[in-house]
Chains A and B, each alone.
Chain A
Amino acid sequence: MEEPPQTTPPDQHRLREIELDVRTQDVEINMGPQHPATHGVLRVLLRADGEILVGAESHLGYLHRCAEKIGENVDYIQYMPYTDRYDYLSSMNNNLSYSLAVEKLLGVEVPKRGQYLRTILAELNRIASHLVAVGTYGIDIGAFTPFFYALREREFLLDLFEKICGARLTYSYIRPGGVMNDAPAGWLNKVAEFCDIFDQKWPEYWNLLVQNKIFIERTANVGVMPAQTAIDWGCTGPMLRGSGVDWDLRRDQPYLVYDQLDFKVIVGEGYRGTLGDCFDRNFVRMYEMLESIKMVRQCLAAIEEGEVSHPDVSLTIRPAPGEAYVGIENPRGELGHYVVSDGTKIAKRMRCRAPSFVNLSVVEHTLPGCMLADAAAIIGATDIVIGETDR
């Protein structure tokens, strides 16, 4: 057997030994798949030098349910309940995106009242989703109480959804051709009532959570994502707008009646820290809720009596061969559905562009250099729903 070559001179050998003695190693920790701060079964493999993170790698797929493949095996209308289950916090918007894509294939336009109802529900759903986002963000950084106040307002919204469609989480309400059924009597007045209540309660979250000094310290300058990074990684929604990019599909590629509504696109200002930090993302979410209320009020003023669904769209849909993509502004970003039809009643190709998935991909890039506690803050500010990232 050949002896290994002696590369280290004897006098340096001693030095090397000392070096070996104090050689340190990065800690590798699994954050998840069962971890309170990963909002589901996300697994992030963190490498840390003490409290400072030096690397992160996210592992997805624990909640993969073949949603897109199912879409290629069931009827167009039968796929609709599956869209509820991507991002279960904003089912209305998921339904809407899918319905708009199928309607584009069919080439039909929903009656005016249907469009207004869809807009109202999409915006109310946005508020419900942002309430959970901001509330759970509080939990991520240690403030448990605001979550319960947020859930109280969400409860009012869920009651509204229950009244109109019968479900509290997976609505299946907006469907190709229109909506499931017209709003019950007095429902629109209830919505107006909610708008007034919400306006009163909003300052509470603002004062209790977002304006708190510790909250500001924990979020400002944490997970900073410059505008160019956000664009490069394809981020959308509050993640993108938090970085100061003025891009909102509701204004820039209007669908439904958004072109007739007067609203402001909220963009992060970085007034508590750097532009594009976790504070800005929450800031965008907080103010978007107020904008949504404004939009709902305008819709309530403009809505008229009439049909809610297109009469020609039945339960069996056979679009002409072709393809369609519609992206809408989900609470988490651009949710797009790409549907290819071959003329049968089952889609040939179904594809979903999930905002959570794209937004999550940038986290690996943002985490290194932060502290361990910031991992929870940054993942929380991304506001991912694992049902959507894994589909």
Chain B
Amino acid sequence: MNIELKNIHKHFGKVHANKNINLAIPSGTIQGILGENGAGKSTLMKILSGFIQADAGGEIILDGKPVIIHSPADAIHHGVGMLHQDPLDFPPMRVLDNFLLGRSGGLFPNRTTVARDFKLLAEQFDFSLDPDSYVDSLTVGERQQLEIIRLLWLGARILILDEPTTGISASQKTKLFATLKKLAEQGMTIIFVSHKLEDVEHLCHQAAVLRAGELVGEIKTPYVTSKLVEMMFGKEITLGERQPAQAGEVVLSFTNISLEDVRLKIKNVDLQVRAGEVIGLAGMEGSGQGMFIRACAGLTRPVGGRVQLNGQDLTGKSYHTYKHAGVNFLPAARLEEGLVPGLNLTDHFVLAEEPKGVFIDRAAGQKLAEDRIQSFNIRGTPLSTVESLSGGNQQRAELALLQSPLSLVLLEHPTRGLDIESVIYIWGKLKERCRQGASIIFISSDLEEILQYSDRLLVFFSGKVSQPIDAAATSVEELGQLIGGKGWANMGDEHA
């Protein structure tokens, strides 16, 4: 099926997530969509698959006919099926029941016919799926296979895959690619959204690169990797004056740490963080850095290895033990994890302090809040509820909650979505902590920020962790390649 997207715009409030996107994908093509986090890939795909609607004026044309897609169900009706990064299936149900869901019409499904269809489709692509097993017993790769044949069965002629190679095994990936190529030969249109350069280079006939909501370029095979990286991350990088750390004693020490969740395995990481040092964690979202920083906070228990903080063994201890030992973690989801909506700033500052007695001294709390509001330059009053603050001010409020003294500050996307003034301010405050002897580990998808503020950095790719890289000795280009999964072969020797 031919796809044409014309003048697609999408605003979320002030954010312009898609800016005038025009893209044509002929039938039988495997189209790669590349871009870093927040580039607008998902927004564009959600528009095509009916999850959200584009701003007025945009057009989606399928096989020459303009269509308006109201919902995902509508999309599948038009032949557009989307495979999400986290499969949208129903884990407590059987494979066949999942397969059936989404099929309209008929009060009582004819299970025998459906089972036959299922078997035929699975055989066609050489998938070994047991229709009677439960979905939660399946691997991510198998759930993906289930989703693919389900969408095909529902009549999809366009298949959108969002980061499909994350969390699946090498053999499943080979099978997936073979399946996609076969489908393309049959005239299906495949849209492959990824940040993995290698996958796109292997699989896609052509690729489109998005950056900051705009379509910055289209390339056909063969690709020049450096060109892709340049398009994805931009070129003009202006680094200010870096402030190297006066490294002190070892604060945090990871020995042979292994971590695991359903998607990723991180194996045998060794890391020593010194007082005053800033470590940046780079990588596409979901590459393992989130799990890693939570392990530093004691929120994720390592499946192997030892954690030491200031010489004290904290392996397997709870988050609250880590907190008492001087580790603070500021999560990215401010209103979901960091702050308590409904409570005001005074409440938050009082909560973060050690209780003195049973009753709260209101006057002292008020005073504390006024002091913090002033010293952290928060635009709000002691009685402002946190949800009434702007994002930047919520971030400042989170920073103002950090206890004192601290050994280790862990931050997820400390400046995401903030204006430049807030960014500089927040890093000023953080560097102050470093001078007082705290170490900082932070996640950011902004490579400039990582290069600017970290002393050393780790790159994550599909659960692989690089050796610590000296931030002064690397470049956006090199990082971009590593983040996209390139140049890992010689990593081990270079930095060992």
Q: Do A and B make up one complex?
A: no
Binding site for A on B (CB under 8 A): none
Binding site for B on A (CB under 8 A): none
